[in-house]
Amino acid sequence: MKSNISTELLVDSHVKFIQSLGEDRDLTYHLTTHLRMNAVYWAVTALCIMGRKEALDREQMIDFVLSCWDDEAGGFGSHPGHDAHLLSTLSAIQILTIQDAVDRMDVPRVVKFISSLQTSSGTFAGDHYGETDTRFSYCAINALSLLDMKYLTPGTAVIDVDKVIDHISRCRNFDGGFGSGVGAESHAGQVWVCLAALSILGRLDIVDEKTLGWWLAERQLPNGGLNGRPEKLEDVCYSFWVLSSLSILRKLHWINRDALISFILSAQDPDDGGIADRPGDMCDVFHTLFGIAGLSLLGYPNLQDIDPVYCMPAKLIEKKGLKKTWLALPRHLS
């Protein structure tokens, strides 16, 4: 375990850490190809929030995204040669949106791919092999809204929006939270995807805000970190899932800001950069993004705003006219 615990965000180290991710093509690189597209999205979003978007080459990134096109399915896979999946397709659309290059992909085919994945119960499958999950409903809603709100608007909608909402409401539990499917236990990650989808669709009215807000606030543990379910360990990635959910409910002041900031900062690697799930563990780009995104929502100084509904730069989402009613904590000056 590292002894020198940082008390501030090591922006330069994290930028270097992110830049180094693609360089070393060792075994780990090859064992994580199934996550590559998501990793690029995590990397570029983290850089945007730190105000260092240009640290990764734009053209190279766009070329990579386009090279993951699965022409048989009409969507994006996680790596060249991998099958199309909704998770990687959303990441591809998010990256191209951030790089202002959506016109470089075949939008009508992607829209068709996404809408073909809605099942008769209203939820979405991740691909044509049929695994369903509220995560995939969110991916579909998020992706379609980024491409054009008309795909979700009555009259021009390409999916059955009411059925999605009905399905999400059936995934609601007695604790106010949501699970991955009907009957499944509440989990902070699933709570976030359901709230974010409902927020995009303007249907937060079906949420029991008080009970869910209580459940979310109780995710903070005495060490300041947040867990994802009762009686579980704290983990930096929940800093985003719990915080963004509270932010969508405009209840971010229901947890302790300073204690959580200290926890996230203590999970940084002061030597090689990056943020881990908890202090002393191996860093990865996933926890690096969600740590930084959490800090941004908490008003940590010198960061760009993140949109908690899309987990993308807030300015960009606002420019696209997609900003919702969420509330982040005011940004501190230092």
Partner 1 sequence: MSVNYNKNSPSIKTRYAKLHQKENKNYTPETLSLTSQLLSINPEFYTIWNYRRQILTEGIFPLKSATEVNDLITADLNLTMSALRQNPKVYWVWNHRRWCLEHVPENPGEDQSNWRKMSWVKELRVIESFLDADPRNFHAWNYRRYVLQSPYVDHTWEQELNYTTRKIESNFSNFSAWHQRSKVYTSLWERGINDEELKSIKNQEFNLIKQAIYTDPGDQSIWLYHRWLVGEGKDEELLRREIEMIEELLSIEPDRCLDTLIHYKTLLLRHRYSLKDRDECITLSSRLRQLDPFRDGRYQDIANELLSMPNN
Site string for partner 1, 126-145 (x = CB under 8 A): -x-x-x-x------------
Q: How many CB atoms lie within 10 A of CB 54?
A: 8
d(CA 8, CA 46): 16
DSSP strand pairing (312-313 vs 306-307): antiparallel
* Residue 231 sits in the site that holds partner 1 (CB under 8 A): yes
Q: Which of 16, 52, 203, 229 contacts partner 1 by CB under 8 A?
A: 229
Q: Smallest gap, in angstroms, from Cβ of residue 317 to partner 1? A: 26
CA neighbor of 98 nearest in space, from 161, 130, 54: 54
The two structure tokens encoding residue 130: 């049929």
> Which partner, partner 1, Zn ion, none, binds residue 83 by CB below 5 to 8 Å per kind?
partner 1
Site string for partner 1, 165-204 (x = CB under 8 A): --------xxx---xxx-xxxxx-----------------
Q: Smallest gap, in angstroms, from Cβ of residue 205 to partner 1? A: 18
Phi, psi of 122 (to 5 degrees): 105, -25
CA distances from 45 to 42, 48, 307, 311 (A): 5, 5, 11, 8
Q: Is the dihedral of CA 186, 187, 193, 199 positive or negative?
A: positive
Residue 94 and residue 66 in contact, taking contact as beta carbons nearer than 8 Å: no
Q: Which of 34, 52, 109, 320 contacts partner 1 by CB under 8 A?
A: 34
Residue 77 and residue 87 in contact, taking contact as beta carbons nearer than 8 Å: no
Site string for partner 1, 256-285 (x = CB under 8 A): x--x--------------------------
CA distances from 285 to 14, 37, 68, 280 (A): 9, 12, 20, 15
Report the run of H or E that residue 262 belongs to, with start and end: helix 257-266
The residue among 83 and 305 lying less far from partner 1, judged by its C-beta, is: 83
Q: Which of 127, 277, 284, 307 contacts Zn ion by CB under 5 A?
A: 277
Binding site for Zn ion (CB under 5 A): 235, 237, 277
Which residues bind to partner 1, rule: CB under 8 A?
A: 26-27, 30-31, 33-35, 77-78, 81-83, 85, 127, 129, 131, 133, 173-175, 179-181, 183-187, 211, 213-215, 217-218, 220, 229-232, 251, 253-256, 259
